[in-house]
Amino acid sequence: MREFAYARPASLADAASAFANGGEAAFIAGGHTLLPAIKSRLRMPDTLVDLAHVAGLTGIARDGDRLWIGAMTTHATVTGDATVAAAIPGLARLAAGIGDPQVRNRGTLGGVIANNDPAADYPAAVLALDAIVETDRGSYAADDYFQGMFATALADGEIVRRIGFRVPQAAAYAKFRHPASRYAVVGVFVARFADGVRVAVTGAGPGVFRWADAEAALSTDFSAAAVKGLTLDDGDLNTDIHASAEFRAHLAGVMLADAIAAA
């Protein structure tokens, strides 16, 4: 890696200032996406702005029909938190299936959704649970936030503060994971609300997306029988060394059924 400056701000204002004055700057949360990119020279920042000590970016609280989780809250914290378990147990189980203990104790919710890796787990939860992404400059509905592979609605230098998940009547996540990285080859998150069902798919395509046909079927009958034989269109799905688009389409149906059963 080439040399870079390191900033450790204690406030959002200081973090924004360090980023703005840092040349080709980058925020670092858990570092699981950024550091490999730096090592491989895909990213070469002049300044790393560490968000670990910024006040107000951690914590979990329920407010009405929203479960708010601070951006720098680790996966391990989400996994073991009683408020999460009571409000959205499927979200706690999703966090428990991310990586290994080292990753879960270092990786953060905000880091995952800011980078928007197409095989990450949390984007499926954010989208299916109709979440609000709150930043230091405003907020985004989940449907507007994710914009393709590694792309989001965030402006340059914008910092995710917290995420507000809508509390569902029932929800669950199922994934077919890569045996080494434990990223989702295909993952499906299902959430049932009084006004309908939301289904989000990760790992299968260039970014997380909603499965409209599954949502329509499950809004009428929330059961595995309602989606039996339903096929995800493989036209825009990924083909790589791990799986073909056709196989990913098949896995989406299997993971959908598993998620419904768990919910």
| Amino acid 203: pLDDT | 96
Q: Do the Cβ atoms of 122 and 94 come closer than 8 Å?
A: yes
Q: Which amino acid is at 153?
A: A
Task: Tell whether domain 60-262 is in CATH 3.40.50.2030.
Answer: no
Please list the residues that pair with 139 across neighbouring strands.
Answer: 134
pLDDT (tens digit, 0 to 9) for every residue of the chain, 263 residues total?
678 999 999 999 999 999 999 999 999 999 988 888 888 888 899 999 999 999 999 999 999 999 999 999 999 999 999 999 999 999 999 999 999 999 999 999 999 999 999 999 999 999 999 999 999 999 999 999 999 999 999 999 999 999 999 999 999 999 999 998 889 999 999 999 999 999 999 999 999 999 999 999 999 999 999 999 898 999 999 999 999 999 999 999 999 999 999 99
| Amino acid 37: pLDDT | 86
| Amino acid 1: pLDDT | 63
| Amino acid 67: pLDDT | 98
Q: Which CATH number fits domain 5-50: 3.60.15.10, 3.20.20.70, 2.130.10.10, 3.30.43.10?
A: 3.30.43.10
| Amino acid 32: pLDDT | 87
Q: Do the Cβ atoms of 57 and 162 come closer than 8 Å?
A: yes
| Amino acid 166: pLDDT | 98
Both structure tokens of 110: 């905000």
CB atoms within 10 A of CB 162: 23
Q: Could you tell me the residue ranges of all domains in the chain?
A: 5-50, 60-262
